[in-house]
């Protein structure tokens, strides 16, 4: 099953476009050999569904990875 397949037939074209954009971005990361976290996919779903804006989603992702890097530095 393709990523965000459940949004493919959504009647809202904005939701379909958001899902497609996220799916493309995530697949490009995978092609480059990067692992994509479950957290990122959860945030993407929130943005697709309009629960958060793109700016909020980016801020959430940025903060998450800053905390991860901070935790690694303290080891």
Query: Measured at the alpha carbon of residue 60, what is the angle toward residues 56 and 65, in degrees to the nearest 5?
Result: 150
pLDDT, position 75: 62
Which residue's structure tokens are 């929130």? 46
pTM of the model: 0.86
Q: What is the rounded average pLDDT for all residues in the chain?
A: 93
pLDDT, position 10: 97
Cα dist. 57→2, 9, 48 in Å?
A: 21, 23, 10
Closest CA to 4 of 45, 36, 35: 45
- Write out pLDDT tens, residues 38-73: 999 999 999 999 999 999 999 999 999 899 888 877
pLDDT, position 2: 83
Domain boundaries along the sequence of the chain: 7-73
């Amino acid at each position: 099953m393709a990523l965000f397949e459940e949004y493919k037939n959504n009647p809202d074209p904005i939701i379909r476009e958001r899902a497609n954009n996220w799916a493309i971005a995530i697949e490009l990361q995978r092609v480059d050999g990067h692992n994509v976290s479950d957290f990122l996919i959860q945030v993407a779903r929130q943005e697709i569904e309009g629960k958060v804006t793109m700016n909020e989603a980016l801020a959430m992702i940025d903060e998450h990875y800053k905390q991860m890097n901070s935790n690694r530095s303290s080891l």
